[in-house]
Structure 1
C-alpha cells in the first residue's frame, strides 16, 4: 500500500513538473538571434543574413558557401527602426535572390519549424518582439500542440501613438494562428501636436475672463 502511494505521489509530482515547464514563459533573445534560427524550406544552396546600421552592412550569419552579392540600401524590420534594417541574400540554382520585406521573408521561412520562425511569420502581419518590453510583448511558452507568443503591435501612429500587446496561439502542426487575445495598450504617447493631449488641454484651459462691470455715474451734490 505504501509503495502504491509513493508511486502515485511521484507520478503526480512528475505531471505537475511537466505542466509547469510547459507553461513557463521564456523571453525571446535579440532580433538578430531570432532571424538566425531560420530554416528555409525551399532548396537553398546558401544564404546570408545582413544587418545594415547607418549605411554600414554586417554579415550576421552565413549558411553554405560564399555569395557574391550587391549590398542593398533597404530591407525589413521586425522592430520599428529608422536607422537600421536587415536583408537576406540567398543562392538557389545558381541564381542570386534578395529578401527585402516581411512578406518575402514569410515565403522564405515557409513551414514553421520553431517558435522563432513563428515570430518571424507573424511579423508580416505587423506583430513584433518588443525588445524594450519583453515582459509584456517579447516572450513565449509552448506545449505539445501549440506555441503561445506574447507580442506587440503598433496600433496607432496618430495621436496618441500607442502599442498593444497580444497573446497568439500558433499550431505546431499547421503553423496557423488559432487564437488572438488582446491584452490591451501598454504604451500611449502624446506629443505637443496632439489635440487630445491631456497635459496640453490642462495648460490651454484658462479661466473665463471677467465681464466688465457697468460704469457708475457720479452722484450730483
Structure 2
C-alpha cells in the first residue's frame, strides 16, 4: 500500500480508514510504502501503531518496506522502527506463506511478548507526549509565523542537534511561554533553524 502526502491530525482519520480497509482485504497483512510521505507527526505515528495492533490481534502484519527521510527520523526518535520490520526468517524463505503469522513466526513466546510490551510502551508514550508536542508546534507557529510542517522541522532539528528527547524539547518551549528560561543551546538552535527555513529559496511549482 502506497501512502503519500502529509500524515498529521488533519489526515489521521482518513489514514486510519484507508489502512483498515486495506487490512480487511488482505490475507497476511499489508506492506507499506511511505517513501512519498512529506510530513508525519505523532498523530500519524499513533495511527500506524493502532492499525498494527489491530493487525497483530487478527494474526496479520503491518510491515514497512520503504520510508521517506521524515518517517525514518520520526521512527528513530520514538524507537518504533523495529515494530514495522518483518523478521529475517520470512525473507530467507522467499516470503512463502506459512501457517503462523509473519510477525511471530520463528519467535519464542518470550520474544513475542517483549515485542508487544515495546509497542505498548511506545504507543502510550506517543499518546502522552502528543499534547505538549502539539502545543510546542503552536508556539513556534505563532512566534515565528511558521507552517505546521516547518514548526515540526524545528522541533525535530532541535531534538537531534541537542541530543534531547522530543517531548523534553516541547516541554521547554511551552514552559518558555509562561516565563521559564529557555536553555541557551535551545535558543541558538531555534534561531538558526528558523532563520534557515525562512531564507530557503522557494522552488517554483511546475504548472
Give TM-score, length-normalised by structure 2.
0.26
> By percentage of residues, which structure has more helix?
2
Q: Name the larger-Rg structure.
A: 1
> By percentage of residues, which structure has more strand?
1
